[in-house]
Amino acid sequence: KTDTDIFPEDFARAFREKDEEAAESSKPKSTEEWVTYPDGRRVLLDILRSVYQGSEGEVLGIIGIGRDVSESRQIAEAIKKADIANRKNIMEAFRKATKNLMVAQQQLNLKNSYLNQTLQEVEEANEKMMASIRYAKVIQTALLPNLDGKSIYLPDSFVIWMPKDVVGGDIFFKDHFADGPSSR
């Protein structure tokens, strides 16, 4: 059968033109062509055309091998569309994550700024308090009796001065030490 016996005239003519192109070329040629059969079925054919030569190199005909690749093309296009949709979804998720990260970074910067400001205020307050404590130590030291033991006014007495921090508490204990039982 010829192409016109199988396909409508416009398709048969297109096939004949492709066959003639293949005949002019000495190399096999592959094409993809949409074809509508007489029953109305439309398919995509992958057609490989090759020149069939005689023993002396004369062209005896064209051998064409076609296979229906409609389903694999549809699957490939579906995969491509799904891949494009997935890439769009991934890019959108990436944009959202980037935006969220930027917002979080801004919030972190604000909190750091607030913490730094608070730290500076605490350091200033601490410095004022420490200055007051150092001054209190000067006053307290001036009011305490001489601790070197030379001018203690009470005989048989002693003073233990061991402040926990910079200044000590205002607790003084006096006791009388005698040879006998103490009379209080």
Kindly report, residue by residue over 13-55, the tens digit of the pLDDT: 888 888 888 888 778 888 888 888 778 888 998 989 888 888 8
Rounded CA-CA distance 82/88 in Å is 10
The angle subtended at Cα 82 by Cα 80 and Cα 85, nearest 5°, is 110
Flag whether pLDDT at 85 surpasses 60: yes
Maximum Cα–Cα distance across the chain:
149
> 4 or 90, which is more confident?
90
pLDDT value, residue 178: 60
**Shortest CA distance to 166 belongs to which of 127, 142, 128, 140?**
140
Range in 2-16, 133-147, 160-174 with the lowest mean pLDDT = 160-174
- Supply 133's token pair: 């404590």
* pTM passes above 0.85: no
Distances from the Cα of 171 to the Cαs of 26, 36, 132, 136, 149, in angstroms?
117, 112, 20, 16, 19
Mean pLDDT of the chain: 83
Collapsed DSSP state (helix, strand, coil) of residue 28: coil
Collapsed DSSP state (helix, strand, coil) of residue 5: helix
Rounded CA-CA distance 184/181 in Å is 9
Kindly indicate the confidence band of residue 136, based on its pLDDT and cuts at 50, 70 and 90.
confident
Collapsed DSSP state (helix, strand, coil) of residue 151: coil
pLDDT value, residue 83: 95
